[in-house]
Chains A and B, each alone.
Chain A
Amino acid sequence: KAGVTQTPRYLIKTRGQQVTLSCSPISGHRSVSWYQQTPGQGLQFLFEYFSETQRNKGNFPGRFSGRQFSNSRSEMNVSTLELGDSALYLCASSLVGDRTNEAFFGQGTRLTVV
């Protein structure tokens, strides 16, 4: 059974640009969550999608957005990149996204903003 796949693994962007990251959950999983990991702030919740609907959102500016497709694949977009957006972005998938389900994480996309 394939795990959670995040693409690309590494990305270098320039300030002001925008970026789209992709997450393919485990087959059959309908919940996808996104997290940002930085040395200073640690792991912080961005948002969660379930059946193409955003169910939950963290405290991030509107430059951070996401969506989920009918096949449960999810994308997150960051517009007008800032140096502080450099981070490891992790996505997690789970069956239905309630607390009884185990969440599986991908290897992440490491974004560097220069």
Chain B
Amino acid sequence: AQKVTQAQTEISVVEKEDVTLDCVYETRDTTYYLFWYKQPPSGELVFLIRRNSFDEQNEISGRYSWNFQKSTSSFNFTITASQVVDSAVYFCALLGDNFNKFYFGSGTKLNVKP
């Protein structure tokens, strides 16, 4: 079965704080992709990153970084020096063998206060 768990429902931080959003996944597929999407109030899902199951290298993109650990089935997302514009709901998602069928976590709402 495919499953993505985001245990943090809502997180509030003050601007410039670092924040980590947790994501734990379950899959029996040997090859799979993991994603993070950002959903601002306007509704669309904005793509942030995609990792495949064979690439455990951590990635940094500006203030964003991702830590992929197959041993713990986790794909955590860290925002460094958070900004008010980072306020949104963040979704972790899994794409297994089944073409374009995403399995989404329940999302983490991030509130960044000035």
21 contacts between A and B (CB under 8 A): A3-B44, A4-B44, A31-B99, A43-B91, A43-B104, A45-B103, A48-B99, A48-B101, A56-B99, A90-B43, A92-B100, A92-B102, A94-B100, A97-B99, A99-B52, A102-B47, A103-B47, A103-B100, A103-B102, A105-B46, A107-B42
B81 in the interface, Cβ–Cβ < 8 Å?
no
Assess whether B104 is in contact with A107, with CB atoms less than 8 Å apart. Answer: no
- On A, residues with C-beta under 8 Å from B are 3-4, 31, 33, 35, 42-43, 45, 48, 50, 55-56, 58, 88, 90, 92, 94, 97-99, 102-108, 110
Contacts of B50 in A (CB 8 A): 102
Q: How many A-B residue pairs lie within 8 Å, measured between CB atoms? A: 68
For the complex of A and B, 7 pairs with smallest distance between CB atoms: A105-B45, A43-B104, A107-B44, A108-B43, A97-B100, A42-B106, A107-B43
